[in-house]
Chain A
Amino acid sequence: MLKKSIAQILVGIDSNSVLSGARKIKTRIITEINKQGISDQVQVIETGSIGPINEGVVIGIYPSGEIYANMTEDVIEEFIRERFIKGRPYKKLLLSKKLSTGVDTTTYDSRKTQHYGRIVLENCGKINPEDIEEYIGADGYEALGTALEEKTPEGIIKTVKDSGLVGRGGAGFPTGLKWSFAKAAKESPKYIICNADEGEPGTFKDRLIMEGDPHKVLEGMAICGYAIGANTAYIYIRGEYQLSIQRLTKAIKDAEKLGLLGKNIFGTDFNFNVKIKIGAGSYVCGEETALLNSMEGLRGEPRLKPPFPAESGFLSKPTNVNNVETFANIAPIILNGSEWFKKVGTESTPGTKVYTILGHIKRPGLIEVPMGITLREIIYDYAGGMSSGKFKMAQIGGTAGDIFSSKLLDVPLEYQELQKLGHNLGSGAILIMNETVSIANFLTCCMKFFVHESCGKCSVCRIGTRQMYEAFKRLEKKEAYFDELETIKELAGELKLTAFCPLGQSVASPVLSALKYFGKELVQGVNPDKKHEPVTRENMNRGFKPLVYGNK
């Protein structure tokens, strides 16, 4: 697996730790090891996120499995001497003794995770994402080889269908079914697109997957290409994700060199090329048809469905669009079979889910947990509890997600169970808030986001989001009209029913769930004596201020 030497120091390099100077620290560690003359025994490896975020630069030691956090340059000399020359743990910065295979390192003190290995993040924080050899050493590209040599395209689609994998982008559509539509399409060429335009506020799971294990995504895409008969794939990635772009570009080059991508993969007649497309800052482009428009060099406005992308997508050819996390699930499923996959998670939604947990909690970060876990477990077992104050609410699935009150702490988080309650799991962001956050203020912030990101194609969303924003601003200032809450409810219902694409429709999610669980608090913002004034020529535009993003 990993290259041989007596001990390895894994330095977690991701966008968060780079801010704390991870690269400098890595160089410093190497210098120090050379100085001590132990460079033949200790190897320094750059890897993706090791888990704990907000703990500065985090490093892991193999094979003993300790994690050290908040590394700084001035302690390195002492650290190397203590840990490797004297051979005892460096207690000052020791965070945990439990980094070992199969255990979720993010949740190092959790009792639950030890029963389940990771699937998607299996290699993140363990291998060097820029070294293809290490990925291959960890059974990488074996699934692709098996698929090409032993399986038929139909067989692969059947395995994916049987596994019960549903799309991890938010909508939760069965992946196998989606593939079979693309397979059935007659036109050629067909395209595969990996949706890495992760714009949902609070979500950065895809970024960490791409930064930590880029080859896993590529392998999943190649298997998909073989299954549906596509030879060209694109990764549409956010312009802001510079490190992901670099790592994927390198990964593609390396794989091509070894004949794992490109022409005649594994000596078969299957060709598969992956290209990267860079976005330019637009939330709505995460919607698959808007993404297609953006890829064609047009305004990123959604298209009318049907025709669905499987029939007429990129350049009007059959196209299969999947999320990064969905693709990362494919290789393990092909390698271990659908029955293995179904053992984790719940009956209706098998597998794991990668969440980003944020807000007023002790340990914000990235976790991969089985489907069906509850919010209470996430907050108190994984996140280490509240960092300050008492739990008030949580928003599940990013800004377009539902707001949960403490009543829902024990509901299993999985697609079907939540649908029964009229909620949705969304993209995998969980924002936890304490009692200092006012619901009206929070929703004003959410609505401002939607006003900015509404693409303007349909008037319902363009005008509706603006009206919502104004209404919540009035509620926040406690000068809302006497009937404001009813108006909001009606407007939310209309948006849900008539908006052109999921952006406008999803505005209703936070609004309606807030009305349901926090109606009492919102009522306090209503001024019962405030009646609507008749609109006249004079007062028509009074108080109107164009919304520039960032304005108060």
Chain B
Amino acid sequence: MTVKEIVKEHGNKRENLLQILHDIQNQNPDNYICEKAICELSKEMNIPVSGIKGTASFYTMFSFTPRGKYIIRVCESPPCHILGAQTIFEAIELKLGIEVGETTDDGLFTLEGTSCLGVCGVAPAMMINEEVYGNLDKEKISKILSLIQNKERK
């Protein structure tokens, strides 16, 4: 869908901006909101570019830089922290060679920290795109990531 169509679907009132931004980001193959889309959106909705960027940059779910196909969000909140969230970061760094905020060279994974995912019952937890994984340890993470890597290689 083009930006124009997305705006048409939701209506060009300001209160629909977040939903429109969600849709624009979701349909971008690199999982981000590109400059071009923002300019188009600005015209469609009659909001200055600065206004759209100002709003979008406030929310952690929106990104202005290209991201990997799979976004790994590791929960950093206290309930996960006391049960070992830090070792999760280390395990991912070891396996993929990326630090927080970076994307792997093959464009598959981006590593991000996030606040509570609301699955504290299975802490420590992470989310890869829409899928949540809980009760993590080093071996489990390695297995999950290998599974995705193998799937993509085929």
Contacts and interface: CB of A to CB of B under 8 A. Distances in A.
B61 A364 contact: no
B15 A297 contact: yes
Contacts of B15: 295-297, 315
A280 B122 contact: no
B107 interface: no
Interface stretch (A198-206, A262-270, A464-472, A523-531): A198-206
Contact of B78 (A283, A395, A453): A395
Question: Is the interface on chain B under 10, 10 to 19, 20 to 34, or 35 or more residues?
Answer: 35 or more
Contacts of B38: none
Nearest to A550: B113
A36 interface: no
A356 B77 CA distance: 15
A54 B82 CA distance: 16
B78 A399 contact: yes
Interface in A434-452: 437, 442, 445-446, 448-449, 452
B114 A549 contact: yes
B18, B54, B60, most chain A CB atoms within 10 A: B18
Contacts of A336: none
A509 to B, nearest CB: 13
A26 interface: no
Interface string B83-124: 100100100000000001100000000011111111111110
Given A356-B121, A358-B79, A448-B76, A549 B100 contact: yes
A431 B82 contact: yes
A308 to B, nearest CB: 20
Contacts of B116: 199-203
A16 B120 CA distance: 9
B14 A297 contact: yes
A261 interface: no
B118 A550 contact: no
Contacts of B89: 550, 552
Interface in A10-45: 15-16, 18-19
Nearest to B61: A281
A299 B14 contact: no
22 contacts: A15-B132, A54-B121, A201-B120, A239-B22, A242-B130, A280-B60, A282-B60, A297-B15, A297-B55, A298-B14, A300-B58, A300-B59, A356-B121, A358-B121, A358-B123, A359-B79, A366-B121, A442-B82, A449-B78, A453-B115, A548-B113, A552-B86
Interface of B: 13-19, 21-22, 54-55, 58-62, 74, 76-79, 81-83, 86, 89, 100-101, 111-123, 127, 130, 132-135
